[in-house]
A = this chain, B = another copy of it.
Amino acid sequence: MSWPPMAASEKGRDIFKLSRDWLSVEEAVAAVGSASCGAISLFIGTTREDQSAGRKVIGLEYEAYEAMVTSELAELCRDVRARWPDVAHICVHHRLGWVPVGEASVVAAVSSPHRQQGQRAVAHLLDGLKAKVPVWKKEVYEDRGASWKENAECAWASCHGNAAALNH
């Protein structure tokens, strides 16, 4: 552990947001800021101008099982803190609805006294987010077709009825 320890009033915070609006990176950075930390590690996931079976992706449409997202994220944060106890604050903002190419669908930020713990924590957080948190995405193509995507990293994706039902 580092000096100074966080004051009782500065207990590690977990900050989550699901939003249909543009995500602000500065907001996530401010949310995890701490005088006791020298490092903020971040990851921003953006919609990529991808191609799927010859069709060009123009954007992604995100949906979530919102009631379950928070509890899964809280569980992930407990796991992160057990592995890297020096981690101070953790912020995960996820966008829902339409996210065009180039815009952010997720912003994850972690503050820590030194950089190594924070960088490992962010990588672990993203692995967990992809594997366990119930957020689905639909690729929307230039020809206006669309297809729900299963996340290759997600343990429960193949059991998700909506994903199968909405494939088209």
Contacts and interface: CB of A to CB of B under 8 A. Distances in A.
A44 B35 contact: no
A42 interface: yes
Majority DSSP secondary structure for residues of A touching B: mixed
Interface in A109-124: 113, 115-116, 119, 122-123
A101 interface: yes
Contact of A43 (B37, B40, B46, B49): B40
A79 to B, nearest CB: 18
Q: How many copies altogether? A: 2
A39 B29 contact: no
Contacts of A49: 4, 35-36
Contacts of A36: 48-49
Contacts of A4: 49, 51
Contact of A47 (B38, B115, B126): B38
Contacts of A101: 35
B39 A41 contact: no
A106 to B, nearest CB: 10
A45 interface: yes
Contact of A40 (B26, B37, B46, B123): B46
Contacts of A46: 33, 37-40
A102 B33 contact: yes
Nearest to A119: B123
A131 interface: no
Contacts of A126: 115
Interface pairs A-B: 8 shortest CB-CB: A38-B48, A42-B42, A35-B49, A40-B44, A119-B123, A35-B101, A3-B51, A35-B102
